[in-house]
Structure 1
Amino acid sequence: MRFFIIVLFSAFSLAAQANLNLKWLAPEPENQAIKQLLESSEVLQTSIDLINNNWQLEDDILLRIGGEEDPYHDPETSTIYFSYYFADEIAQRFIAANPNADLAAQQSFVISGVVHTLFHEYAHVLVDYLNLPVLGREEDAADSFASYVLITMMEDGPRLLKDGADLFYLESLDPEPFASVMLSDSHSLPIQRFYMSLCHLYASDEKAYQYLITEHDFDEEWVNTCFMDYDIIISSWQVLLAQEET
């Protein structure tokens, strides 16, 4: 009986502290399969648990999955918006590039893209609620936070980061990758985000990801820059988040 009370109290405490709350909207018929995939994903739930176990804010944050909005964080409503259409778009990009891949590979890639995007959007939450200083563009900082979390805090995070990088690459294949509206966007170009994510991945484990050098014909200067950039993002996020804990 005593064991049960302890477990129940612990579970209640975690629930009381959790501040990223998930809300599923009803899907359109064409989005039903994507909703089922996301809803049943242990990787997505693990990512949400990681956030709730590591960062406690003054207000609850709503993760609203459904609707038609592209992923974004709205500080006015304390909400991260995430549509089924975005997840379905990830699947369609993967299928177009890998027509012979099986369903499991496709679903895994979708979850990776969703999780990478979730950590990117949660970086905006932390910057807003904790008043974190950002030198440079906040969108680049959000990408670096996703790399930081996936590399240092999730067991299967490096694979998710590699998939996230590959998603950026697939986005760069759109018919007009350098349209003027994209050049004025707050995000870096998809191909830049692809290379930067690979840079973080390679620098995190040079031996394991040595194949990236030859696969993408990276030169020595790029490699040296990668190590410097990686050290900067890891140490910067560690310092910023440690300061908030004290």
Structure 2
Amino acid sequence: MSFLFLSHFTYAGTTQNIGTNIPVDDHYGLALEPTPTITYRFLPPAIGQQQIEQFIEQSPVLETIKQLSQRRFIFSPSLQIVFGSEDGPLFDPVTNSIHIPYQFVIEARKRFKNKGRISNQRELNQATEDTLLHTLLHEIGHAYILDRAIPILGKEEDSVDNFATILLLNDIARGDEIAMNSADLFALEDLDIDSFDDADFVSEHSLDLQRYYNILCLVYGSNPNRYQRIFDELPVSDRQQQKERCPEYFSVINQGWLHYLAE
């Protein structure tokens, strides 16, 4: 199967919130200088990982997460995000911490670069940042479900994919593009699979291609007029079915998560 990889790269200049003098982040459009309910810790990188550590430290993604932690997912005590762990990405409920290996970011970057979908370094950096943001929001979703004792009917992994995507679509400038870049990584990972075995079907995660289409469905449902061609890779009958289903699907998922997210 071929995949429709959309170009999701736009670059906003520095701006301000309308009606205020609060500066906003020039990548993600959120007010700066928050008081975090999320903290960061960087473990010493291994040889060859120093550049990725610096990339993450300098990324606007960290400021965006801190901003969201002020009004959408407030943690007390604070939630720690550890970069450079050996295992992950994962949320550890025992230590109330999220772990992101440097190698995960390296591998995501390689996938975008090697599949020929990125035309320059700027787009590669943007796709990597977008994937990191969605991944962090996904893991924060696990922490938030535990912290607020939110009932989950179905796979929790699917629920936190939705958590991340709904936050992007509601709160983040160019959030739809960020969501689609992160979805593209799932599609790229699916291309590496030659066959499935039983372990793939009993996993707590849905298949990569299912996660890809689920994110696209939410993006389309949030703005059908803008994304008329988002399902062009599908057969006509499936394409029409998605266009009929996804607006209602987005509405249900959106209302469900906004009920639990602080504001």
TM-score of the superposed pair, with normalisation by structure 2: 0.82
8 Å CA contact retained: 2:137, 2:164: yes
- Aligned partner of 2:216 in structure 1 is 198
Partner SS for 1:81? strand
Deviation per CA, 1:58-100: give whole Å up to 9, x if none.
Answer: 3211100012212010110000000100000101111111176
Q: How many residues were matched structurally?
A: 230
- Residues 149 and 189 of structure 1: CA distance in aligned 2, closer, same or farther (over 3 Å): same
8 Å CA contact retained: 2:37, 2:75: yes
Percent identical residues:
30
Partner SS for 2:232? helix
User: Aligned AA for 1:64?
Assistant: V
Moved over 6 A (4+): none
Partner SS for 1:219? helix
Partner SS for 1:22? strand
User: Aligned AA for 2:177?
Assistant: R
User: Aligned AA for 1:57?
Assistant: F
Q: Distance in 2 between matches of 1:191 and 1:227?
A: 20
Gap regions ≥5 residues in structure 1: 1-12
Asked if residue 219 in structure 1 is aligned to residue 235 in structure 2, the reply is no
Q: Distance in 1 between matches of 2:174 and 2:93?
A: 30
* 2:225 equivalent among 207, 218, 231: 207
Asked if residue 114 in structure 1 is aligned to residue 135 in structure 2, the reply is no
Q: Distance in 1 between matches of 2:110 and 2:74?
A: 35
Asked if residue 101 in structure 1 is aligned to residue 133 in structure 2, the reply is no
Deviation per CA, 1:153-188: give whole Å up to 9, x if none.
Answer: 111211110101101101111234523222111010
- Aligned partner of 1:84 in structure 2 is 102
Gap regions ≥5 residues in structure 2: 1-32
1:118 Cα offset (Å)? 0.6
- Aligned partner of 1:239 in structure 2 is 259
TM-score of the superposed pair, with normalisation by structure 1: 0.87
* 1:46 equivalent among 64, 69, 76: 64
Q: Which has the higher contact order (CA 8 A, sep 6+)?
A: 2
- Residues 205 and 30 of structure 1: CA distance in aligned 2, closer, same or farther (over 3 Å): same
8 Å CA contact retained: 1:44, 1:111: no
Structure number with the higher helix fraction is 1
- Aligned partner of 2:171 in structure 1 is 153
- Residues 109 and 47 of structure 1: CA distance in aligned 2, closer, same or farther (over 3 Å): same
Aligned runs of 1:103-142 on 2, under 5 Å?
Answer: 103-142=121-160
- Residues 177 and 109 of structure 1: CA distance in aligned 2, closer, same or farther (over 3 Å): farther
